[in-house]
Amino acid sequence: MIYKARLGQASYGEAIGILLLDCFTPFIPGDVANATTYNFPVRFHKVEGLTTKRVLRKDPTAFEPLLAAAEELVGQGVKAITGDCGFLAIHQRRLAMALEVPVFLSSLLQIPFIFSILGPDQKVGVITADSKSLDEALLEAAGVKSGERLVIRGMEDRENFSKAVIEETGVLDSEKAKMEAVSVASEIVEKEQEIRALLLECSCLPPYASAIQKAVELPVFDYVTMINYVHSTLFRDSFEGQI
C-alpha cells in the first residue's frame, strides 16, 4: 500500500476531533476530555475563550472561534468533529454546513433516535449540567421538536458537581459526584414511571453512567455512546468466519 503525507499534518490516525471548552475542571477517565475514555486515538483542540459560562448562555459570537478550531482539526486529518458540552448544539447546524466532515457537537442529538426506539407514550429522562439553560431553543437546535416526552433534571443544585463543573473550583470528588448523579437519576425515574431511557447531556457525566444504569436498570445514553457509535461508522471492521 502506498501512503501520501498531507501538507501541514503533524500526526495521523485520529479519526475523531474533539472541541474542548476553555475551562478549569479535572477530566477523569470516562469524561469526554480524557483520552483514556476511548479505545481508539482522538485529537483534542481547546477553543480559547469559549468558557462554560459563555456556552451556557448560548453566546452566538462563539461560533467563529469554534469554526476556526474545527477547521484546524480537519486540517490535521480528523474525519468527524464533536465537542465536550451538550449546549454546543446551538451551533450544530451552522458548523455542519461549514465543514465537509460529519459534525455531532451535542449528546442531545441522540434524543430523536431514543424516541424512535421507544413506545409513543414512553419518556426520556435528561440529566443536564444546568436545567435552567436547557430550553426549547437548544432542544430545537438538536432536532427535538417537542419536549413533551422529556423529563429534564439538572445537576446545578448538587454541591460537589456544581462547584467542580459550573463554578470551576478545580477540584472534583468523583465519589460524591457519582452519588449526586445517581440520586438525580433515581429521583426522576421514581417520579416519572413512563421513563424508559436516560440521556446524560453533560460531558462530565459519562464516568457515572455505569453506576446510574445499575441504579435505574434502564438504557443510558451519553456523549461516549455517541462518539463510539460515530467512530464505528468511520472504521468498519471486516468480518471473517465460517458458514
Question: pLDDT (tens digit, 9 = 90+) per residue, 153-197?
Answer: 999 999 999 999 999 999 999 999 999 999 999 999 999 999 999
Task: Compute the distance between CA of residue 80 and CA of residue 78 in angstroms, rounded to an integer.
Answer: 6
H helices then E strands: how many in the chain? 9, 8
Per-residue pLDDT at 54:
92
Q: Do 100 and 116 belong to one domain?
A: no
Asked if residue 111 has pLDDT above 90, the reply is yes
- Domain presence at residue 53: yes
β-pairing, 123-128 vs 195-200, is parallel
Question: Is the distance from CB of 205 to CB of 227 less than 8 angstroms?
Answer: no
Q: Do 49 and 89 belong to one domain?
A: yes
CATH classification at residue 33:
3.40.50.1860
Per-residue pLDDT at 146:
67
Q: What's the domain range around 39?
A: 16-106+227-234
Q: Do 132 and 216 belong to one domain?
A: yes
- Domain presence at residue 10: no
Q: Do 202 and 146 belong to one domain?
A: yes
Question: Is the distance from CB of 26 to CB of 171 less than 8 angstroms?
Answer: yes
| Residue 78, C-beta contacts closer than 8 angstroms, at least 6 positions apart | 14, 15, 16, 17, 43, 101
Q: Do 199 and 111 belong to one domain?
A: yes
In angstroms, the Cα distances linking 41 to 37, 169, 181 are: 10, 29, 28
Total structural domains in the chain? 2
Confidence of residue 35 (pLDDT cuts 50, 70, 90): very high
- Domain presence at residue 167: yes
* Strand, helix or coil for residue 3: coil
Asked if residue 147 has pLDDT above 80, the reply is no
CA-atom Rg of the chain in angstroms: 18
Asked if residue 139 has pLDDT above 80, the reply is yes
Confidence of residue 125 (pLDDT cuts 50, 70, 90): very high
- How many angstroms separate the first and last alpha carbons of the chain? 30
Q: What is the dihedral of CA 224, 226, 228, 229, to 10 degrees?
A: 160
Asked if residue 150 has pLDDT above 90, the reply is yes
The owner of cell 431514543 is: 114
Q: Do 125 and 74 belong to one domain?
A: no
Task: Compute the distance between CA of residue 18 and CA of residue 32 in angstroms, rounded to an integer.
Answer: 8
- Domain presence at residue 112: yes
Q: Do 198 and 115 belong to one domain?
A: yes
